[in-house]
Amino acid sequence: MKIAAAALALFVVSGACAGATDVRPIVVEVYTSQGCNSCLAANAMAGKVAQRPGLLVLSFPVTYWDMFGWKDTLASDDNTKRQKAYAGALRRGGVYTPQMIIDGVKDVPAAREDAVSYALTLAAMARDDGMQSDVATPAIARRDGLAGDVAFVAAMRVKTPARSAWSVGVALVKRPGDLHVVVDRAPDVARRGNIDATVWLFRLRSAANVKIGGGENTGQTITYRNVVTSITNAGHWRGEPLTVDVPKAGAKTPAHDAVAVVVQQGGYGRVVGAALVGNATFYAPW
């Protein structure tokens, strides 16, 4: 418990020093199931973690517990496939719940507060390592004259790193016919090597409450934050300025009231950029 307290204290201090609004958020993915008893504590942990500044928490309900007496009402095959892809990328023997994957490079049991706090501390230190200069909004957004537009609803102020822990600016612009995704140019330190990153778009339900009617959690009510309802590969980013126009969601798209965009090396590697448009500024069905 002493280790956990120290780790949490360090995380809070490092987050305060970095500033919650001037660096990219740490992306926290929680793989969970309504049929998994230990996932109750993990979902509660995710809710607590989501309140901390500088974090983007995404919940991914998976399907492989559905055979044990209760079919998860929020789970999707795409969420399960994503977790299985991580098992290969992280060199794990298989998948498990509840699992928390932090910035695409570290996984911990999502119900263990000490492990979660320590992993978040390390992630904040890695993200902030070598930070030098602020970028108020992505350069490409300024170039396109979007920074002063009322439709410019989500911009991440990032810092340009001196060493390997670099980040890139990401912005989301809501327009009448689509959602405009803007990814900035990679910093010079990153451009010295080959860059191949995937731009993931996650449609989200910002909150959901589910009462369980069977299985290990019969009678329990689970509260979720930022439940992923669909996953889209929106394109590849190779270090140059990139814009992607995402059309409005069709009638068959699952219900959502928010969108997150995550730029991730190789598809299932280190997260280098992220942005969220929440239900305060985002109007479904985009």
CATH code of residue 36: 3.40.30.10
User: What is the structure's pLDDT at 114?
Assistant: 92
CA angle 282, 59, 179 (to 5 degrees): 25
Any domain includes 99: yes
Torsion sign across C-alpha atoms 163, 187, 121, 9: positive
Question: Per residue in 47-79, pLDDT tens?
Answer: 999 988 899 999 999 999 999 999 999 999 999
Any domain includes 22: yes
pTM above 0.75, yes or no: yes
**112-119 average pLDDT score:** 93
Q: In whole angstroms, how large is the CA radius of gyration of the chain?
A: 18
Mean pLDDT, the chain, whole residue set: 80
Q: Find, among 51, 52, 30, the residue nearest to 41 by Cα.
A: 30
Any domain includes 8: yes
Any domain includes 282: no
Any domain includes 285: no
User: What is the structure's pLDDT at 106?
Assistant: 95
Any domain includes 80: yes
Question: Per residue in 241-273, pLDDT tens?
Answer: 999 999 887 778 888 889 999 999 999 999 999
User: What is the structure's pLDDT at 2?
Assistant: 39
Residue with the larger pLDDT of the pair 7 and 28:
28
Any domain includes 283: no
User: What is the structure's pLDDT at 20?
Assistant: 31
The parent domain of residue 208 ranges over 2-277
Q: Find, among 109, 112, 124, the residue nearest to 1 by Cα.
A: 112
Any domain includes 286: no
User: What is the structure's pLDDT at 190?
Assistant: 84
Number of domains making up the chain: 1
